[in-house]
């Protein structure tokens, strides 16, 4: 039915997905159509010795034209810009791309999961992230600020100082 198609386009109704599947899709777009095998660890180091190092494995590539991927990327790059839905990123110094989401469940009144999936930086992606907060509300106001803080740490030249500052703020306010 036409209504089913519209629900599918915006990710409502019959769409069932996991955060890992959304992250895979986000990475697929960020890497111009390469789907990599998911990994939890890049490498394991003991002292000066590398015990394990993950070698990226492409599972799928070239199943969508580069022109279509370009259009999707352009749309994702508008989300964290002024006028988009990821308002916490409007003043973020690193260009990111993403998609907010608010997934309804159960009784539609006040029952939504907050989503945000993103990659950065847009010109040479090196990190992708998906955050889902169960029962969290709106993706723009709940999930995207978490991604922003994770990116702030990831791109920080002084990660240890940033961690100490966050710790100090948390212990000062308690």
Instruction: Tell me if 43 sits within 8 A of 54, measured CB to CB.
Output: yes
Position 5 scores a pLDDT of 80
Tokens of 124: 């040479």
Distance CA 61, CA 163 (A): 38
pLDDT digits (tens, 9 = 90+) for 48-76: 999 999 898 999 999 999 999 999 999 99
Tokens of 169: 């703020």
DSSP string of 39-80? Answer: -S-SEEEETTEEEEEPPP-EEEESSS-HHHHHHHHHHHHHTT
Tokens of 4: 């089913």
**49-53 and 58-61 strand pairing:** unpaired
Q: What is the dihedral of CA 27, 29, 30, 31, to 10 degrees?
A: 90
pLDDT digits (tens, 9 = 90+) for 5-62: 877 777 667 777 899 999 999 999 999 999 999 888 888 999 999 999 989 899 999 9
Contacts of 35 (CB under 8 A, 6+ apart): 24, 27, 28, 58, 59, 60, 61
Least confident piece of the model among 32-46, 47-61, 134-148, 150-164 = 150-164
- b/e map 73-111, b = 16+ CB within 10 Å: beebeebbeeebbbbbbeebeeebbbbbbbbeeeeeeee
Position 11 scores a pLDDT of 66
| Average per-residue pLDDT for the chain | 89
Position 108 scores a pLDDT of 64
């Amino acid at each position: 039915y036409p209504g089913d198609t519209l629900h599918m386009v915006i990710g409502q109704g019959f769409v069932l997905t996991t955060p890992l599947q959304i992250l895979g899709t986000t990475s697929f777009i960020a890497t111009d159509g390469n789907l990599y095998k998911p990994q939890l660890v890049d490498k394991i180091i003991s002292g000066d010795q590398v015990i394990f190092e993950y070698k990226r494995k492409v599972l799928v590539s070239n199943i969508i034209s580069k022109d279509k991927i370009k259009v999707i990327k352009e749309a994702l790059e508008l989300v964290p810009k002024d006028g988009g839905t990821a308002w916490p990123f409007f003043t973020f110094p690193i260009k990111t791309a993403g998609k907010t989401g608010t997934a309804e469940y159960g009784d539609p009144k006040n029952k939504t999961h907050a989503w945000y999936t993103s990659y950065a930086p847009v010109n040479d992606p090196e990190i992708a992230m998906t955050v889902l907060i169960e029962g969290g509300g709106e993706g723009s106001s709940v999930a995207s600020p978490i991604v922003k803080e994770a990116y702030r740490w990831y791109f920080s030249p002084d990660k240890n100082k940033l961690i100490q500052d966050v710790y100090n703020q948390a212990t000062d306010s308690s």
